[in-house]
């Protein structure tokens, strides 16, 4: 049986991990042959099997008639899009690890793959080695998904774990994550929640059958959390985790959000530590199922890329199905601000008599009632402000936002507002 011929675009952290696996994995060796790789810099030494073509011209590898499948491991959007688009146009199957590419250009690329009758594998694009894409596309295909919630970014989970378990400050925990290689020198993409939002686009498109553009997803990150928030949450029986969540709401819409959330310690995602990822799916027939493991790194990512390649080689790769969510744009994308939820609020207020009564009054005027109030005895900051930590009973997000806007006029509304999730 002739082997499926692979061209690999990108030989950095992930591409090199895949090239190694293609050489070492016996099952892969039987059905796949790496013919060529695309890189930018031809002068770098590369560990590749003898005879592998190394090129810096995309057309050379993508238009090669012998190549059956192109793996895109370049990163970024522009060059990756050009490579994937021309590979699909040439009728080749494609496998990618690139969440940014799919979050931005997924609708075009999946439509093209469908038109050409070829597959576009993307298991490695979310949570690296955790088989969540094939779970949603295959195992749960007949299920109605009620919610998908996940810790899908290892960098932020590492930072939050160190803040909670070692009482580290945000800055110290971030520095440690950078020293250990879990955070980039510029961590903004991860800590802002953007990385998780791209993954949320992919997961929710699969789970709910509509494409949810990343820029429409309500996204907040972890950089404004301080150790007081983390320790206060712990004292109340919760753990703060950056959660990408998509839920079917009572009015039939789907609400998608990426934000730090207070999870009860007994919640299945609360015990996911350090750089690990996990996704919790709730579906009608099966109920809750949890998928967890290493969500980044060359080895787990290469495992998923290789599985997609093996599917192509063995004729099992899924073609783009009509119900693929990337093909259906979500038109009505208004989030439901009337759902009842509980909140943790950390404000900075002047240390003056009457302030607490004013805050409680503004919240009460919007129907937001307080469950607890804590004003830690600390010195006021340079602006004369002290922390005021509140939790609410169930309230509507929209009305809470209106109250915070009102407090903002006093200069007190800018604070940390986190959803408290019940089990």
Q: Which residues are catalytic?
A: 199
Interface segment toward ligand NAP; rule CB under 6 A; list 4-12, 28-36, 265-273, 317-325: 4-12
Closer CB to ligand NAP, residue 44 or residue 329? 44
CA 302 to chain centre: 18
If DSSP codes are grouped into helix, strand and coil, which group holds residue 280? strand
Using the rule CB under 6 A, which residue among 264, 268, 297, 350 binds ligand NAP? 297
Distance CA 391, CA 410 (A): 20
128 near ligand NAP, rule: CB under 6 A: yes
Q: Whose structure tokens read 């989030």?
A: 335
Q: How far apart are CA 196 and CA 154, in angstroms?
A: 10
Q: How far apart (Å, rounded) are the C-alpha atoms in residues 276 and 125?
A: 15
Is 281 an interacting residue with respect to ligand NAP (CB under 6 A)? no
Name the segment binding ligand NAP (CB under 6 A); options: 74-82, 110-118, 226-234, 404-412.
74-82
Judged by beta carbon, residue 17 or residue 415, the one nearer ligand NAP is: 17
Contact assessment for residue 244 and residue 221, using Cβ atoms and an 8 Å cutoff: no
N residues, the chain: 423
Question: Is residue 75 part of the contact set for ligand NAP (CB under 6 A)?
Answer: yes
Among 30, 40, 141, 180, binds ligand NAP (CB under 6 A): 40
Question: Which one among 3, 13, 209, 248 touches ligand NAP, defined by CB under 6 A?
Answer: 13
CB of 169 to ligand NAP, least distance (A): 26
Distance CA 240, CA 223 (A): 13
User: What is the C-alpha separation between 365 and 360, in angstroms, rounded?
Assistant: 9
Cβ-defined contacts of 335-338 (< 8 Å, 24+):
335/218, 335/253, 335/255, 335/256, 335/257, 336/249, 336/250, 336/251, 336/253, 336/255, 337/396, 337/397, 337/398, 337/401, 338/396, 338/397, 338/398
Q: What is the DSSP letter of 340?
A: E
Nearer to ligand NAP, 203 or 230 (CB): 203
Instruction: Out of 14, 136, 278, 389, name the contact with ligand NAP by CB under 6 A.
Output: 14
Task: Establish if 177 lies at the interface with ligand NAP (CB under 6 A).
Answer: no
With binding defined as CB under 6 A, does residue 74 bind ligand NAP? Answer: yes
Stretch that binds ligand NAP, among 5-13, 145-153, 176-184, 207-215 (CB under 6 A): 5-13
By CB under 6 A, is residue 44 in contact with ligand NAP? Answer: yes
256: β partners: 246
* Residue 95 CB, nearest approach to ligand NAP (Å): 11
Contact status: 183 vs ligand NAP (CB under 6 A): no
Q: Is 12 in the site for ligand NAP (CB under 6 A)?
A: yes
Stretch that binds ligand NAP, among 38-46, 140-148, 266-274, 358-366 (CB under 6 A): 38-46
131 binds ligand NAP (CB under 6 A): no
Binding segment (CB under 6 A) for ligand NAP, from list 35-43, 258-266, 344-352, 354-362: 35-43
CA dihedral over 37, 23, 132, 196, signed as positive or negative: negative
Shortest distance (Å) from residue 125 CB to ligand NAP: 6
Measured from the CB atom, the residue of 221 and 387 that comes closer to ligand NAP is 221
Name the minimum Å distance from CB 81 to ligand NAP.
11
Distances, alpha carbon 182 to alpha carbons 106, 121, 179, in Å: 27, 26, 8
**H or E element, residue 157:** helix 154-165
Position closest to ligand NAP via CB: 12
Other C-beta atoms lying within 10 Å of the C-beta of residue 35: 18
Site mask, ligand NAP, residues 86-105, x = CB under 6 A? -----------xxx------
The verdict on 38 binding ligand NAP (CB under 6 A) reads: yes
CA distance 238 to 422: 10
Q: How far is the CB of 296 from ligand NAP (least distance, A)?
A: 4
Q: How far is the CB of 231 from ligand NAP (least distance, A)?
A: 30
Q: How many residues bind ligand NAP (CB under 6 A)?
A: 24
Between β-strands 340-350 and 395-396, what pairing exists: parallel, antiparallel or unpaired?
Answer: antiparallel
Exposed / middle / buried, residue 228 (Cβ in 10 Å: 0-12, 13-18, 19+): middle
Q: List residues binding ligand NAP (CB under 6 A).
A: 10-15, 38-41, 44, 56, 73-75, 79, 97-99, 124, 128, 296-297, 301
């Amino acid at each position: 049986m002739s082997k499926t011929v692979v061209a690999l675009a990108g030989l950095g952290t992930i591409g090199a991990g895949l090239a190694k696996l293609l050489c070492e994995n016996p099952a892969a060796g039987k059905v796949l042959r790496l013919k060529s790789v695309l890189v930018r810099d031809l002068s770098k030494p590369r560990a590749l099997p003898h005879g592998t073509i190394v090129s810096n011209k995309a057309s050379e590898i993508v238009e090669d008639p012998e190549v059956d499948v192109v793996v895109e491991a370049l990163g970024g959007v522009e060059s990756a899009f050009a490579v994937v688009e021309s590979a699909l146009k040439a009728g080749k199957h494609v496998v990618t690890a690139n969440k940014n590419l799919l979050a931005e250009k997924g609708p075009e690329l999946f439509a093209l793959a469908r038109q050409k009758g070829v597959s576009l594998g993307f298991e490695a694009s979310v949570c690296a080695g955790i088989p969540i894409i094939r779970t949603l596309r295959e195992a749960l295909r007949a299920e109605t998904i009620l919610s998908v919630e996940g810790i899908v970014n290892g960098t932020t989970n590492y930072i939050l774990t160190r803040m909670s378990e070692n009482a580290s400050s945000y800055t110290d925990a971030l520095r440690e994550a950078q020293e250990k290689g879990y955070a980039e020198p510029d961590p903004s993409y991860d800590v802002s929640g953007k990385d998780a939002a791209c993954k949320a686009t992919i997961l929710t498109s699969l789970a709910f059958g509509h494409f949810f553009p990343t820029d429409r997803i309500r996204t907040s990150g972890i950089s404004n959390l301080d150790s007081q928030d983390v320790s206060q949450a712990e004292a109340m029986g919760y753990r703060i985790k950056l959660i990408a969540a998509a839920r079917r709401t009572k009015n039939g819409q789907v609400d998608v959000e990426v934000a730090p959330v207070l999870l009860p310690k007994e919640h299945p995602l609360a015990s996911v530590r350090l750089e690990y990822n996990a996704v919790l799916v709730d579906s009608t027939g099966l109920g809750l199922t949890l998928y967890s493991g290493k969500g980044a790194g060359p080895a787990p990512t290469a495992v998923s890329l290789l599985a997609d390649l093996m599917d192509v080689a063995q004729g099992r790769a899924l073609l783009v199905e009509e119900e693929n969510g990337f093909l259906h744009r979500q038109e009505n994308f208004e989030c439901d601000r009337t759902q009842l939820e509980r909140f943790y609020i950390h404000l900075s207020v002047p240390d003056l008599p009457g302030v607490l009564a004013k805050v409680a009054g503004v919240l009460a005027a919007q129907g937001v009632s307080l469950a607890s109030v804590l004003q830690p005895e600390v010195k006021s900051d340079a602006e004369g402000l002290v922390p005021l930590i509140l939790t609410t009973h169930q309230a509507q997000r929209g009305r809470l936002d209106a109250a915070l806007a009102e407090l903002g006029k006093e200069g007190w509304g800018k604070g940390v507002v986190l959803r408290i999730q019940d089990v």
